[in-house]
Structure 1
Amino acid sequence: MPRSLDGLVLAPVADQAPGQVGTRTRFTYHEQDDEIWAEYAGGDVVRGYLVGTREGDLLDFRYVQLRRDGTTSSGHCASAVVELPDGRLRLEESWEWESQAGGGTSVVEQIARSAP
């Protein structure tokens, strides 16, 4: 059975183009049954949401975000969940804008919890 994303915080490993998610963006994931959703913010993104489904280690979702410059954008993303050697989870993503031209790939990884 695949590991749940529920309650995990993930961050991009590299910056995208200006006005998009970057290494300062944090995604907080939620999961129930085959439903997946997250809130995200940081860097050029004031507020963002994603919602979709999970089938095994594959995620399929739509996202929408508000940027610091006051513009909004939305798109579609398909992600593969990969477990890293240290036990953290990584999402390998292929995305495309629906509100504007463009698309690409990105990687987000679970932020390691600090020791108490």
Structure 2
Amino acid sequence: MARSLDGLVFVPVADQAPGQVGRETRFTYHEQDGRVWAEYSGGDVVRGHLVGTRAADTLDFRYVQLRLDGTTASGHCVSRLTELPDGRLRLDETWTWESQEGSGTSTVEQPPS
């Protein structure tokens, strides 16, 4: 898929555990020459950043976030980019915390217009 993520907003399709991203979290992505980065906030996350690379439909990045309770957390994520039937983009994510125990999967999508 050749569509750029630059300037696109993504939202989680479901809440995660407390202290993690949830349906109120908004990610704003940027992309240039195979590099991707994003800022995110909302819900239990005061401020978050991710930075990594994109090869075809696969994103590989590290993330770090500041939570409402003042704690920080970081991890690694690999995401698969797909296009939904209505043309919106979706990222199916497999992540692992590096600053604490835990791993899982999640999904973010462009919100409907």
TM-score range for the pair, normalised by the shorter chain length: over 0.9
Structure 2: segments with no counterpart, 5+ residues:
none
Residue 37 of structure 1 pairs with residue 45 of structure 2:
no
What amino acid is the match of 1:73?
A: A
Structure 1: segments with no counterpart, 5+ residues:
none
**Matches for 1:89-104 after TM superposition, within 5 Å:** 89-104=89-104
Q: Compute the displacement of 1:94 (Å).
A: 0.1
SS of match in other structure, 1:41: strand
Give the TM-score taking structure 2 as reference length.
0.98
Residue matched to 1:28: 28
CA RMSD of aligned residues (A): 0.7
What amino acid is the match of 1:9?
A: V
Residue 112 of structure 1 pairs with residue 105 of structure 2:
no
Q: Compute the displacement of 1:111 (Å).
A: 1.5
Residue matched to 1:82: 82
Residue 49 of structure 1 pairs with residue 16 of structure 2:
no
SS of match in other structure, 1:15: coil
How many correspondences in the alignment? 113
Paired with 2:2 and 2:103, the residues of 1 have a C-alpha distance of: 27
Paired with 1:33 and 1:110, the residues of 2 have a C-alpha distance of: 22
Residue matched to 1:12: 12
Q: Compute the displacement of 1:112 (Å).
A: 2.5
Give the TM-score taking structure 1 as reference length.
0.96
SS of match in other structure, 1:19: coil
Q: Compute the displacement of 1:2 (Å).
A: 1.8
Aligned identity (percent) is: 75
